[in-house]
Amino acid sequence: MTVLALASPVTLLVPGLLCAVTVALAATFLSEHYGIPVMLMALLLGMALNFLSEPGSRCLPGIEFASKKLLRFGVALLGLGITVQQVMASGPEVLAIAVSGVAVTIGSGLLLARLLGLPLQMGILAGGAVGICGASAALAISSVLPRREGTERATVFTVIGVTALSTVAMILYPILTERLGLGDVATGVFFGATIHDVAQVVGAGYSVSQEAGDTAVFVKLLRVALLIPIVTGLSLVMGTGRGGEGGALPIPFFVLGFAALVVLGSAGLVPEEVKVALLSFSRWCLVVAIAALGTKTSLGRLAAVGGRPILLICTLTLLLALYALGLIGLLF
């Protein structure tokens, strides 16, 4: 009886998890064969299966689990991608560009959201996604925001927007830096400080040179590390704690996990093969989570978001690019 009681909740999750994993596999296949960003593909395929998340559906418990719990687990594993030694060795110029760029973008997101008559949550989501690390940041920030009507719709819209703009930036930014005559290091700093998603940073950086790619990935990981203070701060301000579900702990568990893995990686306690495997698994968790989030999104309701959020995300992307170029011109 005890075994059955323990197995029952797990069994309830299976249909929804299988659906999310299937969508993620299909998105990965399409991404690998046709070059479409996997996050965007997972969202769109998931949205086509919106009926799976209707109230009363057998898939709903597993979809909810994947879009929340699995998401936070995947974000926590990202902590293995950066070490304290890397941060300390980066130099004040790179740190200044990365940290101030995030601060300026989030602050501008709040201000622009107010000017455009958008909810505060939209400004936080857009500013965090553009300033930190695209879809991953949007998902992490969303998980500590209070659950209000329209939050998930705003999250999906933000993920779609930043993923699309990341792809555009991956194509256009190398052309821009070549025209401006930036060196490989300055080019890598610009890519890492401005392109939203890690995959597109990799694509843009290594399309220029090995040095530009290595620099771009490192600067990008510096921005990813800023998830710790940003999400912790939002959790404290919003009073959500426990990853957005309320409770006594003021800092979400997944943020603590992220920080702990940064420390473990910095101390050399995680073998390189294990680190690579876990970072790969982290990305897979995020793809499954975003597929689940897509199934919870109605195309009709998403269309109701309107043009102002598009203007918000595009403006923040342009602002970050101009700000980074200005600092690079001064410091490099």
pLDDT in tens, 264-307: 988 989 999 999 999 889 889 988 988 887 888 766 665 655 68
Residue 211 identity? E
Tokens of 231: 């999400």
pLDDT above 70 for 246 = no
pLDDT band per the 50, 70, 90 thresholds, residue 1: very low
pLDDT, averaged across the chain? 83
More confident residue, 97 or 53: 97
Q: Which has the closest alpha carbon to 74: 143, 166, 163?
A: 143
pLDDT above 60 for 249 = no
Q: Residue length, the chain?
A: 332
Query: Positive or negative CA dihedral for 13, 19, 22, 23?
Result: negative
Give the Cα-Cα-Cα angle 222, 219, 275 (nearest 5 degrees): 65
Hunting for tokens 């579900």 — which residue is that? 245
pLDDT in tens, 217-244: 788 878 888 888 888 888 887 755 544 4
Tokens of 216: 């771009």
Note the pLDDT of residue 38.
81
Is 307 buried (19+), middle (13-18) or exposed (0-12) by CB count in 10 A? exposed
Task: Tell me whether residue 10 is in a domain.
Answer: no
pLDDT in tens, 63-114: 989 987 887 788 788 788 777 777 676 678 888 998 999 999 999 999 999 9
Give the Cα-Cα-Cα angle 320, 195, 284 (nearest 5 degrees): 140
Task: Tell me whether residue 230 is in a domain.
Answer: yes
Task: Tell me whether residue 162 is in a domain.
Answer: yes
Task: Tell me whether residue 7 is in a domain.
Answer: no
Task: Tell me whether residue 107 is in a domain.
Answer: yes
Three-state DSSP class for 114?
A: helix
pLDDT in tens, 157-191: 888 888 778 878 887 899 999 999 999 989 999 99
Task: Tell me whether residue 6 is in a domain.
Answer: no
Number of domains in the chain: 1
Work out the percent of the chain whose per-residue pLDDT is above 70. Answer: 87
The reported pTM is 0.70
Task: Tell me whether residue 259 is in a domain.
Answer: yes
pLDDT band per the 50, 70, 90 thresholds, residue 251: low
CB 249 within 8 A of CB 41: no
Task: Tell me whether residue 20 is in a domain.
Answer: yes
Residue 158 identity? T
Domain interval for residue 133: 15-331
**Rounded to whole angstroms, how far apart are CA atoms 5 and 12?**
12
Three-state DSSP class for 90?
A: coil
**Rounded to whole angstroms, how far apart are CA atoms 59 and 11?**
11
